[in-house]
Each structure stands twice: as structure tokens, then as C-alpha cells.
Amino acid sequence: MVKTEPNSVPAHYLQGLDFYHLKMFPEAVDELQKTVQLSPDYALAFFNLGMAQAHAGQMDAAIATLQRTLQLDATNFEAAYNLGVAFIQKKELEPAAAAFRQSVTINPELARGHRALGETLFFLDKLDEAIAELRRAVELAPQEPIMHESLAKALAAKGLTAEADEEARRAQQQPAPH
């Protein structure tokens, strides 16, 4: 389809998604770049391009592309979350925290976003903020042991040993993920 329709946005986009799902990330990047060149306001194509770039190890490009996604679609909490992940990959904690904060502002029910923000704040030595975010993550996903483990770590760092022990106990009581 791409060879017979070289200027077809759907053809390049779908080919890019096929490559992405096959974990052929450089090829996905090529096709999705063609898509956004042909359709520069296609927010979902930018998002998928950013994800392909991240998986291909092109973090600087992924960051720029995910930022462009958010310019085009300020409601894309997945773009904000994955922007935070890309910043973490580059060990840039302040921008990562800002991106994770944006993801949970867009979608306050995003438990993994609250956990990622809490973990990032923990490493920035902002323990009170970290604990608040991690408490929210536990509230949203009490069945996930990692949420309790993250909160236990932050509580222990704050010197709240009894609470930390309780969260660690709760983590151990949760069934293992499938």
C-alpha cells in the first residue's frame, strides 16, 4: 500500500503501526515520520512516532516529539506520562517530575502516573510531596504491590517506620501480578 500510494497518510501511518507492533522500531520511526511530514497536525501520529523513537533509543527525538504531541493535544495524558519516562531515561528528574505531574493533572485517576511522580519526587528529596503522590497511587490501585512498596520506601525515608512496615506488609498480602 505504501509503495503504490507514496503520499497516503493512512498508508504510512498503518505501516508505521504495523512495524511498531512487530517491534521493528527504526522502520516504524521512518513510516511515522513520513506520516507527520504529510500531516503535521496529526497528534496521534506524533504520539506513536514519539513512542517508536523512545523504543529505538532516540530519547532526544522522542522528547521533542512527545512535547509536540502535547502541543497538538493537551489532553493526551499518555504522551505526558511517556515524556516523563523519556526524561527519566536521560536522568533528567525535574523535567520528568513536571511531565508526570502534567499526566496526573490531565488524568487524576492515573495510578502509575502518581507512582511515577512520587518516585521521582522521592529521588529529588521532596519526601512530603512524594508521600502524598504515593498515597494517591495506593488509593487508586490498592491491589498492586508495587504501589505499597513505593509508599513504604518513602515513609521509611521520612522516618515513619510503623507506617512503612504496614505498607510493606500490605504489599506482601497482595496477589502476584499475572
Query: For every residue of the chain, which 3-state class applies, written as one string?
Result: CCCCCCCCHHHHHHHHHHHHHCCCHHHHHHHHHHHHHHCCCCHHHHHHHHHHHHHCCCHHHHHHHHHHHHHHCCCCHHHHHHHHHHHHHCCCHHHHHHHHHHHHHHCCCCHHHHHHHHHHHHHCCCHHHHHHHHHHHHHHCCCCHHHHHHHHHHHHHCCCHHHHHHHHHHHHHCCCCC
| Same domain as 138, residue 93 | no
Residue 84 has pLDDT above 70, yes or no: yes
Structural domain span for residue 43: 1-107
| Same domain as 69, residue 20 | yes
pLDDT at 178: 55
* % of residues, the chain, pLDDT over 70: 96
| Same domain as 125, residue 100 | no
Choose the final residue of a domain: 87, 107, 127.
107
| Length of the chain, in residues | 178
| Same domain as 39, residue 9 | yes
What mean pLDDT is reported for the chain?
A: 94
Residue 54 has pLDDT above 80, yes or no: yes
Choose the final residue of a domain: 90, 107, 124.
107
Domain tally, the chain: 2
| Same domain as 50, residue 6 | yes
| Same domain as 132, residue 83 | no
Q: Tell me if the pTM is above 0.85.
A: yes
What value does the mean pLDDT take over residues 86-113? 98
Choose the final residue of a domain: 107, 130, 150.
107
What value does the mean pLDDT take over residues 87-111? 98
| Other CB atoms within 10 A of residue 115 CB | 25
pLDDT at 1: 44
What value does the mean pLDDT take over residues 90-111? 98
| Same domain as 98, residue 31 | yes
- Contact between 16 and 8 under an 8 Å Cβ cutoff? The reply is no
What value does the mean pLDDT take over residues 97-106? 98
Which tops the pLDDT comparison, 8 or 71?
A: 71
pLDDT at 4: 45
